[in-house]
Amino acid sequence: MNTELIDQLKSFFDDVVLPKGYDKNIEKIREFAIAAKELKHRVIFITSGGTIVPFEKNMVRFLDNFSGGGRGSSTAEYFLEQGYHVLFFSRKNSLQPFIKNLMYHESDSFFTFLEHDKNTQHVKVSEHYYDQVSRHYLPWKKYIDSGHLIRLDFESVGEYLYYLRGISMELSILGKNLIVYAAAAVSDFYIPLSKMAEHKIQSMSKGLTISLDPVPKTIGFIVHLWAPKSFITTFKLETDDELLKTKSMQSLSNYGHQLVIANLLSNYRDRVIFYSPLLKDPLVILRETNDHQPIEIQIGKQLIQLHNNFLK
């Protein structure tokens, strides 16, 4: 890795807050990685949801982005069902595998599923929703209790990168059995602590101009330093179709990893394209309009096939 990039990353880490409980959480991940290695488990490390960029040290305001964690959580479900162990690293309060269907009900909130039991004066799951609640809650509980699914969350871009580095390094002992699946929408800009207001920014008649520094690119670090033997998947999101192919190919040639999944904001739930040196041609994956299954099932199927080939 070029020393300039290494220095940039070092200054980034020096100028953001170390996540609370970092050492303890990394210790948990180390134990998970050691057990998975001993038992030769296949593991996928999924990042999901969007990072925030705080404006103040005593944070009142922040920049956010649209990602809600649908892609990451649906992918986690598929891989768990296929026998993979999943480390699910997601934005705090974003969608979670299986229980996402209970967190956000189509017509109402989680309260839709409840009813008042007049005999006990307790609230219980309404009989009408027994099947639905069990179908989503039970697999979630089963995978957590069995240790197949472990979860950790992030909020700011600083927390995200600290853990991205720490988790990748811990899981790297799994070698080729590890897939890194970086689906989170990570901010390209941030405010370093040294330039950040201490307290709530006060209103000013002349308005507010905020200057943001670039966040260092980390794909190269994962590929060359943090988890060099694993199968690395990154996402490329664009809004302009003309740019999508070029940017995806550029990313593959810059970093030399296994897979870029390209998607457009306008239809990312219905269409993605795989660019990979393991494929002869780019692979377009479409969700049929009458298909009620999420596209992540198709993504997962193709990804497992590529992972199988990579392992041979």
Which residues make up the interface to ligand PAZ (CB under 6 A)? 49, 67-71, 183, 185-186, 235-237, 263, 268
Nearer to ligand PAZ, 85 or 236 (CB): 236
CB of residue 150 to ligand PAZ, shortest distance in Å: 20
Nearer to ligand PAZ, 89 or 235 (CB): 235
CB of residue 247 to ligand PAZ, shortest distance in Å: 9
CB of residue 185 to ligand PAZ, shortest distance in Å: 4
Asked if 55 contacts 192 with a C-beta cutoff of 8 angstroms, the reply is no
Nearer to ligand PAZ, 103 or 125 (CB): 103
Nearer to ligand PAZ, 94 or 172 (CB): 94
CB of residue 22 to ligand PAZ, shortest distance in Å: 24
Asked if 172 contacts 230 with a C-beta cutoff of 8 angstroms, the reply is yes
CB of residue 157 to ligand PAZ, shortest distance in Å: 11
Task: Give the pair of three-digit tokens for residue 277.
Answer: 């040196």
Residue 182: C-alpha distances to residues 48, 71, 119, 197 (Å)? 7, 10, 49, 31
Beta bridge partners of 46: 88, 181
List the alpha helices (DSSP H) in the chain: 3-14, 22-38, 70-81, 100-103, 130-145, 157-171, 219-221, 241-255, 296-311
- The strand pair at 178-182 and 149-154 is best described as unpaired
Nearer to ligand PAZ, 91 or 165 (CB): 91
